[in-house]
C-alpha cells in the first residue's frame, strides 16, 4: 500500500517538475524573440566602403 502511494507521489512530482522545466524553457525562448536581434556583422564590409 505504501509503495503504491510513494510511486504515485513520485510520478506527480516528476510531472510537476517536467511541466515547470518546459514552461521555463518556453518563457526563455519567448524573451529571446522579444529582445533586440543580435546580428553578426562582418567588419570587413564596412572597411571597403
Nearest Cα to 23, choosing from 12, 31, 33?
31
Distance CA 18, CA 24 (A): 10
Q: How far is CA 29 from CA 13, 17, 39, 49, in A?
A: 24, 18, 17, 36
pLDDT tens-digit profile, the chain (49 residues): 999 999 999 999 999 999 999 999 999 988 887 666 655 666 666 665 5
pLDDT at position 3 is 97
Cell of 21: 522545466
Closest CA to 25 of 36, 33, 35: 33
Amino acid at each position: 500500500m505504501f509503495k503504491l502511494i510513494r510511486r504515485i507521489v513520485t510520478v506527480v512530482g516528476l510531472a510537476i517538475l517536467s511541466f515547470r522545466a518546459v514552461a521555463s524553457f518556453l518563457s526563455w525562448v519567448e524573451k529571446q524573440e522579444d529582445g533586440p536581434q543580435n546580428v553578426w556583422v562582418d567588419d570587413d564590409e564596412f572597411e571597403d566602403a
